[in-house]
Amino acid sequence: MLAFGAKPERGSATCEDDVSDIIASDSKPCPVCGETIKAAALKCRFCNTDLAAYESARQAEVEHEVWSGHPATVYSAWQWILVIVTIGIAYLVLWIKSQSITFRITTQRVQVERGLFSTIKDNLELFTIEHFDVHKPLGMRLAGHCLLHLRSADDTSPSLKLYGIPDLEVLADQMRENSLRERTRRRVTTFIET
Ligand SMILES: [Zn+2]
């Protein structure tokens, strides 16, 4: 991925190599060209790779979990009313419903598992998502919640609805950024609908 050519000459380093073996703890191989460089080096003196930038680009490829869990049992004011009217019975029903759904959001994808025994799984890659729509129906707004509707440009991919997640609006912004970054990393170009 990076230029391997144009290595600078190292001169007669045959006997110096033995010395560098002894002080090996001070050195490390360059992750790009494999030449031995100082452990504290910020830039490889052989291939000129900016090691900090290389490491951060590599880190971006690693998937990290952003949020994972069940939606809140009660995420709407109407549900609270239902719970009060049924003297708590509705809470049990809502709790089972909430336990049967698991959201998993990572830096690269969104997964939704449905069913108490995790049978159906929907998976959406962040870079395919075109629309991050935040909805605030009255009942949810009163309960301090909102709904995030994720839609991709591809009609065959599922559209996912996330709700009952604390600070979902902040999370939505984070997902938007991750989506753009993933898109750049994968070099996906799209036509933006107006
Ligand atoms: Zn190098």
Mean pLDDT of 13-20: 51
Determine the CATH number of domain 65-185. Answer: 2.30.29
- Put simply, whether the predicted model's pTM sits higher than 0.95 gets the answer no
- Residues of each domain in the chain carrying CATH 2.30.29: 65-185
Angle between helices 77-85 and 89-99 (to 10 degrees): 130
Select from 57, 64, 183, 172 the least CA-distant residue to 127: 183
Tokens of 168: 């979902």
Q: Is pLDDT at 21 greater than 80 in this prediction?
A: no
How far does the centroid of ligand 1 lie from the alpha carbon of residue 48, in Å?
6
Q: How far apart are CA 189 and CA 36, in angstroms?
A: 38
> pLDDT per residue over 114-168, tens digit each?
987 767 888 899 999 999 999 999 999 999 999 999 998 777 777 899 999 999 9
Name residue 87's amino acid: I
**pLDDT at residue 2 tops 50:** no
Cα Rg of the chain (Å, integer): 25
| C-alpha of residue 186 to centroid of ligand 1, in Å | 24
CA of 35 from ligand 1 middle (Å) equals 6
How far apart are the CA of 1 and the centre of ligand 1, in A? 12
Contact in structure between 55 and 39 (CB atoms under 8 Å)? no
